[in-house]
Amino acid sequence: MERWPSQVRVDWKAFDSDALEPWLPLLVHPAETPALDEYDLPVREWLAWLGGPRETDAAFLVRRLARMPMDEVARETLYDQLDPPLVLLPGATTPSRTRAKRSGARLHFQRRALERGRPSIEAVASLRARAVREVGAREGERWIDLARASMVTRSRDLDAFANGDPRDVRVVDFGNGLAFACIGVRPERRLLLEAVYGYLTVKNGVPIGYVLTASLFGSAELAYNVFETWRGAEAGPIYARVLAMTRGLFGCDAFTIVPYQLGEGNDEALGSGAWWFYQKMGFRPRDRAATRLMRAELARMRSRPGHRSRLATLRRLARAPVHLFLARSRGDVLGEVPLANVGLHVSRALAERFGADREAATESSARAARETLGAGPTSAWSAGERMAWTIWAPLVTILPGIERWNASERDALVDVIRAKGGRRESAFVRHFDAHPRLRAAIRRLAAAPPRTPRAG
């Protein structure tokens, strides 16, 4: 909206404007409310009346919502609930698939047939990027702009790009024109535990797809998408490099594909044969029912070459995550560890002590965490690091067994928390995974939810 305010319109045919109507009085000056109270005009007409002479309906709406007296997260929640569909009209400088390209990229000429095979697990384990280049904030912003433009021109969105941090951008180069722009999330939008990164996949500087990873416990959940124009060739070799990149950045030896990416509630994934793509890359379910069904389908394929799994079968297969292990198979990986239970334990502890007064809970937890760890934020800490301390403090107070940790283990936890709010969230993953007692404590909390309190 800052760049192309005159090019954006509300798509009224797709907009359920009834949800916006009660918010209109809060978007205008109080002296305007008598008219809103008296006249029963459609929302579309009200926006046309309220906006400036050279202001589109979308520009007025977005600008007024942006100035409502609430914090960024609350404002974004409201916007998502209203969900106004917007149309960006083409212009000389608006995002374009045709012009989307990273300027200055070295060209690689394809002098042999495209790779269509699927590398072995051993090959994946041995792959290494040619170079990982850290970029400054200015170049990082340009990569984020290119990633956002590549998504909006395909009616897609990715939170990691929308909330990308220009200070946490790296370019991972695999040679032959293939590279990934690794984009971290701003500290204030990071998750409590997993570290989330988005990646724009480029070939000769042209965007051809994107990747999303969440990493912790020496493992990563991955989402992999090739833009439709470039599907059908080199998907396997490129994906192998995605795995190698994730391993190199985060030290992962285990990878998970969640059910949605396999086709659960995702017709695009079902239609593309995503489940069998990952199976042929070496991923396997740990779920017994899914394993039995996979083996039955493989037997049918051997007895009847050309057999294709029915959609109903693919939906059943997609109910369970699949995993790839470069080392031993284990259960303490993302997709298997129910991290949501950690949040339930925090909620239970805060509810029992503070009830509705979560502000008091925040202050008390910060003090208690400092007493427990013997350290805390100082003037040398960045704003992001101080925020991470505030967010992590309630969790610190309920970590099982922390009273038996030695001084170096407590100091290491301070480093973990500080890294969560630091420049590169990947550093948090390395610190967390190198802390055995912290990993064990989080797994213990995640193992089961707290008891449900009795109704009062």
**pLDDT one digit per residue (tens) for the chain, 456 residues:** 688 889 999 999 999 999 999 999 999 999 999 999 999 999 999 999 999 998 999 999 999 999 999 999 999 999 999 999 999 999 888 999 988 998 878 888 888 877 777 777 777 778 899 999 999 999 999 999 999 999 999 999 999 999 999 999 999 999 999 999 999 999 999 999 999 999 999 999 999 999 999 999 999 999 999 998 888 778 888 999 999 999 999 999 999 999 999 999 999 899 888 999 999 999 999 999 999 999 999 999 999 998 999 999 999 999 999 999 999 999 999 999 999 999 999 999 999 999 999 999 999 999 999 999 999 999 999 999 999 999 999 999 999 999 999 999 999 999 999 999 999 999 999 999 999 999 999 999 999 888 876 555
Please give the single-letter amino acid code of residue 254: A
- Which residues 6+ apart lie within 8 Å of 46 measured at CB? 24, 36
Place of tokens 């017994």: 288
**pLDDT on residue 2:** 80
Closest CA to 344 of 192, 258, 439, 452: 452
Residue type, 198: G
pLDDT at 121: 77
pLDDT single digits (tens) 29-43: 999 999 999 999 999
C-alpha closest to that of 322 among 356, 294, 284: 284
Burial of 250 (0-12, 13-18, 19+ CB in 10 A): buried
In the chain, what is the greatest distance between 2 CA atoms, to the nearest angstrom?
A: 78
Go through the domains of the chain in sequence order and give each one's CATH number.
5-88 (no CATH), 121-325 (3.40.630.30), 340-447 (no CATH)
Q: Measure the CA–CA gap between 33 and 115, rounded to whole angstroms.
A: 64
Of 228, 148, 219, which Cα lies nearest the Cα of 183?
148
Classify residue 186 by its DSSP letter: P
Nearest residue to 256 (alpha-carbon basis) of 216, 283, 287, 279: 283
- What the block records as the tokens of 182 is 């690794």
Rounded to 10 degrees, the C-alpha dihedral 305/306/312/316 comes to: 50
Residue 279: both structure tokens together: 């199976």
| Token digits of residue 296 | 């039955």
H-helix or E-strand spanning residue 324? strand 322-325
Contact 138, 146 (CB under 8 A): no
CB 215 within 8 A of CB 250: yes
| pLDDT computed for residue 357 by the predictor | 97
- Residue 425 per-residue DSSP state: T
Cα angle 67-70-76, degrees, rounded to a multiple of 5 = 80
Whether the Cβ atoms of residue 96 and residue 200 lie closer than 8 Å to each other: no
Contact (Cβ atoms closer than 8 angstroms) between residue 100 and residue 220? no
Query: Between vectors from CA 166 to CA 147 and to CA 4, what angle results, nearest 5°?
Result: 55
Residue (of 193, 238, 455) closest to 337 by Cα position: 193
Q: What tokens does 23 get?
A: 């918010």
Q: What does the alpha-carbon distance between residue 356 and residue 378 come to, in Å, rounded to a whole number? A: 29
- d(CA 138, CA 132) in angstroms, rounded, equals 17
Predicted TM-score of the model (pTM): 0.92
